[in-house]
Amino acid sequence: MKEKKEKAKQLKSVDYSKWGYLFILPFFLAFLIFQLIPLVSTVYYSFFEYYRSGLKVIGPNPVGLANFKALFESDFLKYTGNTLILWVAGFIPQIVISLLLAAWFTDVRLRIKGKQFFKVVIYMPNLIMASAFAMLFFALFSANGPVNHALVGLGILKEPFRFLSSVGGARGLVALMNFLMWFGNTTILLMAAVMGINPSLFEAAELDGCTPTQTFFKITLPMIRPILVYVLITSMIGGLQMFDVPQILTNGKGTPDRTVTTIIMYLNNHLFSKNYGMAGAISVILFIICAILCLVVYFTLNKDDTVHATRKHRGKEARK
Amino acid sequence: MKKYLKAGLVLVLALAMVFTMAGCGGSGSSDSADGGAEGGKGGKTLNIWCWNDEFQSRFNDYYPEVKEVADDKSTTTLNDGTVVKWTINPNEGNNYQDKLDEALLKQADVDDEEKIDIFLVEADYALKYVDSDTTMDVKELGLTDDDMAQQYQYTKDIVTDSNGVQKGTTWQATPGLFAYRRSIAKDVLGTDDPDAVQEALADWDKFDEVAAKAHEKGYKMLSGFDDAYRTFSNNVAAPWVDGDKVTVDANIVKWIDQTKTYTDKGYNNKSSLWDDTWNADQGPKGKVFGFFYSTWGINFTLLGNSLETKEDEGGKAEVGNGAFGDYAVCYGPQPYYWGGTWICGATGTDNADLVKDVMLKLTCDKDIMKKITEDTQDYTNNQEAMQEIADSDFSSDFLGGQNHIALFVEAAKNIDMSNAGAYDQGLNESIQTAFRDYFEGKVDFEKAKANFETAAKEKYPELKTFEWPK
């Protein structure tokens, strides 16, 4: 009897672990085929001269760090700057408006009606495909488009403003589109964060005579800091990889004067000749930048936890 | 070039169509397989790759062996049971060439029925394929010099590789003309007679004078920056690239100077080819004197744009609908050509006989060539047939009763394509993009030059040095 039981126990445990591995297998297979192998080959080819001239394939010839050298001798830093400018110009209004909306929507005293409706509406732009959205803006803001017709018709402008031919206009449109697409998403994240704050804190603040502004800056903001950091980092990584909106808005050209050319658009330019070497080098640099940012967020959040933990610990000790 | 039509959604739709086609194609071929195909060297499927439906409609309408066309046009069945399978990939952003390259590189490994039999190329990048072993010698396919005797020499030059082997053939020749608005010419020059207008526009100095006059009357001479580009770039002294050196021709710089002057003085409308403004300028409300257009551009693009009520909105192509009938053509200041589509037989085809027959019927047969021109006003690649039409009382209602074929016949004689190269498309696009900023006053000349060089090196890593005229 006893033996049988033990045997059964053994079998069972073996069975379980087998199924466990089986269940996680698809993820690892998919990860291996679609992520790890492409990732490794990208890094590998960044050290090679490897492109197509017409239908002739040149390479792969190992060239060491030549691709990286060429990259930093090119206007890579300018495109990094472009990318950051486009991202910041979109992110600042995005975070300000989102914070404001999140504070209003969660304020118990304001009691805004139709909250659900507004949440859906502000999230809407994110549901449209970025490329379709960019096409729409391209048509709306073209020199001959409805926006210019309206501005001239209303007497605001004397003659059409060529949005896509001016640096400010083109960058402004990209920033505006990124803002419109993402502020809804950010608002909902921040609302969740605010609602996660213990309501008694707000009540106590109110009893102590805090003004709404004080409540916002002294309670809401510090309490949602981890989520703010998360929003900042995800938005930054998304911003660094900005591609579809500027690509389609400028017809793939990044004009005027290549000021709307982002890093990924620069990468894409190299794919005209299937230049896997240079494109790989750009990807590697971008990967390093993203990795650094991920480390930053990891340590920021971790530090927060340790501070929290030590405080708790101290509290316990004090009570003793 | 001509297929940069209306970007975006149209392309997306077209792509969607391609996928549906692929789905339907499979069932179509199995249906007809039992019809007993004996075409060519046994292949039952003729795979044709192209970027729009222009050749498809020519094929369906004029290839004598066509039996029936599938409802969705994805396949065409021939009398002997062979199924023609169409693969259409839009051209924009190098899409067609990318897909074609992938397919051609795999050509040796795929099933016979999957192999590409025919693919089409444009002048701007024809050499890329002609200079490779992906295309077949037309003589090897069975065409003789006699068959092609009536074709324009330049149409053969473009698809002749460095060893003198001709590797493609075309049904159209694309000499360019200057199409002007009769009403505006009357206002500016006092006449709309093509000979008198040609007299006034005979060289670039005169062209500039007319531009100034048109400006005084409130018109624009040209629509945009790139309108005149081809007339300059077709008359360069040497190809773009020699070895790893890019030479910017003095004629290209002339285009830059002229366009800058026109932009600063307000002689053009700051549009780019194929954009909204450019299309609208050709329509009834347009205030632009004229457009440089070649054969297909006149009967296809310009005609479509000139209508007040477009044909897909129920409008008719007839006098009274917008600017229909208000255009006429003259030679303009310099001869040039623009566009054109060549048929290439793909190496590895299992339908060599059929490929030869398609080429023979659709590019060498005088009667078919003549009929295409009479039906569609397209200018076909048969000197004898075109001369007959030029001498006849053929006239175009769209051009106010002018026999434009007669002008094309003259213009076609002056085309010299000895300086075409494999880099034309990429470098033409890059220089137009880079100098657009200069025309708009956003950058200075030196910066635009640098931007062109950067873009050229991105596209073609093998290019190292750049030489600009003094």
Q: Model confidence over A99-114: pLDDT tens digits? A: 999 988 888 777 888 8
Q: Is A78 on the interface with B (CB under 8 A)?
A: no
- Give the per-residue pLDDT at A52: 83
Q: Is B461 on the interface with A (CB under 8 A)?
A: yes
Do A79 and A41 share a domain, yes or no? Answer: no
Using the predicted structure, report yes or no on whether residue A252 has a pLDDT greater than 70: yes
Do A41 and A172 share a domain, yes or no? Answer: no
Do A7 and A106 share a domain, yes or no? Answer: no
Contact flag A75-B271 (C-beta cutoff 8 Å)? no
- Give the per-residue pLDDT at A176: 94
Contact flag B451-A165 (C-beta cutoff 8 Å)? no
Q: How far is A170 from chain B (nearest CA, A)?
A: 13
Summarize pLDDT for B80-131 with one digit per residue, the tens: 889 999 999 988 777 888 899 889 988 888 888 889 999 999 888 888 899 8
Do A139 and A16 share a domain, yes or no? Answer: no
B87 strand-pairing partners: B49
- Give the per-residue pLDDT at B319: 84
Contact flag B462-A143 (C-beta cutoff 8 Å)? no
Q: Is B287 on the interface with A (CB under 8 A)?
A: no
Q: Cα–Cα distance between B417 and B415 in angstroms, integer?
A: 6
Provide the CATH topology of domain B9-171+340-381.
Answer: D-Maltodextrin-Binding Protein; domain 2 (3.40.190)
Q: Is B66 on the interface with A (CB under 8 A)?
A: no
Contact B222, B262 (CB under 8 A): yes
Percentage of chain B modeled with pLDDT above 90: 44
Q: A67-76, B98-107, B411-420, B437-446: which range is least confident on average?
A: B411-420
Q: How far is A130 from chain B (nearest CA, A)?
A: 13
Look at residue A308 and tell me if it is in a domain: yes
> Which of B10, B161, B462 best tests the A interface by mutation, with the highest count of A CBs <10 A?
B462
- Give the per-residue pLDDT at A110: 78
Using the predicted structure, report yes or no on whether residue A247 has a pLDDT greater than 90: yes
Polymer length in residues for chain A: 320
Distance between alpha carbon A192 and the CA centroid of its chain, in Å?
19
Using the predicted structure, report yes or no on whether residue B448 has a pLDDT greater than 50: yes
- Give the per-residue pLDDT at B438: 93
Contact flag B455-A75 (C-beta cutoff 8 Å)? no
Look at residue A57 and tell me if it is in a domain: no
- Other beta carbons within 10 angstroms of residue A266's beta carbon come to 25
Q: What is the pTM of this model?
A: 0.81
Q: Cα–Cα distance between A37 and A28 in angstroms, integer?
A: 12
Do A21 and A117 share a domain, yes or no? Answer: no
- Looking at the partner chain, which of B129, B276, B454 has a beta carbon nearest the beta carbon of A142? B276
Look at residue A69 and tell me if it is in a domain: no
Residue with tokens 């005229």, as numbered in its chain:
B469
Percentage of chain B modeled with pLDDT above 70: 91
Task: Provide mean pLDDT across the span B414-438.
Answer: 87
Look at residue A258 and tell me if it is in a domain: yes
Look at residue A67 and tell me if it is in a domain: no
Q: Which amino acid is at B253?
A: V
Contact flag B436-A142 (C-beta cutoff 8 Å)? no
Q: Is A135 on the interface with B (CB under 8 A)?
A: yes
Give kind and range of the element (H or E) at residue B77.
Answer: strand B75-78
Q: Which value does ipTM take for this structure?
A: 0.80
Q: How far is B365 from chain A (nearest CA, A)?
A: 32
Do A41 and A130 share a domain, yes or no? Answer: no
Which chain A residues touch B271 with a CB distance below 8 Å?
143
Q: How far is A50 from chain B (nearest CA, A)?
A: 10
Contact flag A53-B460 (C-beta cutoff 8 Å)? yes
Which residues of chain A from 11 to 70 reach within 8 Å of chain B, CB to CB? 51-56, 58
Output DSSP code: residue A102: H
Using the predicted structure, report yes or no on whether residue B424 has a pLDDT greater than 90: no
Contact flag B458-A251 (C-beta cutoff 8 Å)? no
Using the predicted structure, report yes or no on whether residue B36 has a pLDDT greater than 50: no
In three-state secondary structure terms, B131 is coil
Residue with tokens 């003004």, as numbered in its chain:
A211
Q: What residue spans define the domains of chain B?
A: 9-171+340-381, 176-338+392-413
Contact flag B442-A145 (C-beta cutoff 8 Å)? no
- Give the per-residue pLDDT at B221: 94
Q: Is B165 on the interface with A (CB under 8 A)?
A: no
Which chain B residues touch A165 with a CB distance below 8 Å?
270, 436-437, 440, 442
Which residues of chain B from 85 to 144 reach within 8 Å of chain A, CB to CB? 93-94, 101, 104-105, 128-129, 131-132, 134
Q: Which amino acid is at B115?
A: K
Contact flag A257-B93 (C-beta cutoff 8 Å)? no
Q: Are domains B9-171+340-381 and B176-338+392-413 of this chain identical in fold?
A: yes
Contact flag A257-B447 (C-beta cutoff 8 Å)? yes
Percentage of chain A modeled with pLDDT above 90: 41
Measured between CA atoms, the residue of chain A closest to residue B448 is A257
Contact flag A54-B132 (C-beta cutoff 8 Å)? yes
- Mean pLDDT for chain B overall: 85
- Give the per-residue pLDDT at B125: 86
pLDDT band at B23 (very low <50, low <70, confident <90, very high): very low
pLDDT band at B163 (very low <50, low <70, confident <90, very high): confident
Q: Cα–Cα distance between B313 and B309 in angstroms, integer?
A: 6
Using the predicted structure, report yes or no on whether residue B32 has a pLDDT greater than 50: no
Do A229 and A266 share a domain, yes or no? Answer: yes
Examine residue A222 and say whether the peptide bond preceding it is cis (omega within 30 degrees of 0).
Answer: no
Which chain A residues touch B101 with a CB distance below 8 Å?
52, 55
Q: Cα–Cα distance between B151 and B131 in angstroms, integer?
A: 21
Q: How far is A58 from chain B (nearest CA, A)?
A: 9
Do A31 and A136 share a domain, yes or no? Answer: no
Q: Cα–Cα distance between B113 and B46 in angstroms, integer?
A: 8
Q: A38-47, A163-172, B307-316: which range is least confident on average?
A: B307-316
More confident of the two residues B383 and A18: B383
- Give the per-residue pLDDT at B2: 43
pLDDT band at B213 (very low <50, low <70, confident <90, very high): very high
Measured between CA atoms, the residue of chain B closest to residue A253 is B433
Considering its fold, how many domains does chain A have in total?
2
Summarize pLDDT for B289-322 with one digit per residue, the tens: 999 998 888 888 898 889 888 887 888 888 888 8
Task: Provide mean pLDDT across the span B253-257.
Answer: 94
Q: A109-113, B253-257, B391-395: which range is least confident on average?
A: A109-113
Look at residue A59 and tell me if it is in a domain: no
Measured between CA atoms, the residue of chain B closest to residue A50 is B461
Q: Which domain holds residue A7?
A: 2-45
Q: Cα–Cα distance between B112 and B350 in angstroms, integer?
A: 6
pLDDT band at A2 (very low <50, low <70, confident <90, very high): low
Q: How far is A254 from chain B (nearest CA, A)?
A: 10
Q: What is the CATH number of the domain that holds A138?
A: 1.10.3720.10
Task: Provide mean pLDDT across the span B173-199.
Answer: 92
Summarize pLDDT for A169-217 with one digit per residue, the tens: 999 999 999 999 999 999 999 999 999 999 899 889 989 998 888 988 8
* Homologous superfamily (CATH) for B176-338+392-413: Periplasmic binding protein-like II (3.40.190.10)
Do A9 and A124 share a domain, yes or no? Answer: no
Provide the number of CB pairs (under 8 Å) joining chain A to chain B.
Answer: 81
Which chain B residues touch A256 with a CB distance below 8 Å?
436-437, 440, 442-443
Look at residue A52 and tell me if it is in a domain: no
More confident of the two residues B252 and A7: B252
Which of A250, A268, A57, A269 lies closest to B426 in space, CA to CA? Answer: A269
Using the predicted structure, report yes or no on whether residue B407 has a pLDDT greater than 70: yes
Look at residue A237 and tell me if it is in a domain: yes
Q: How far is A311 from chain B (nearest CA, A)?
A: 56
- Give the per-residue pLDDT at A8: 56
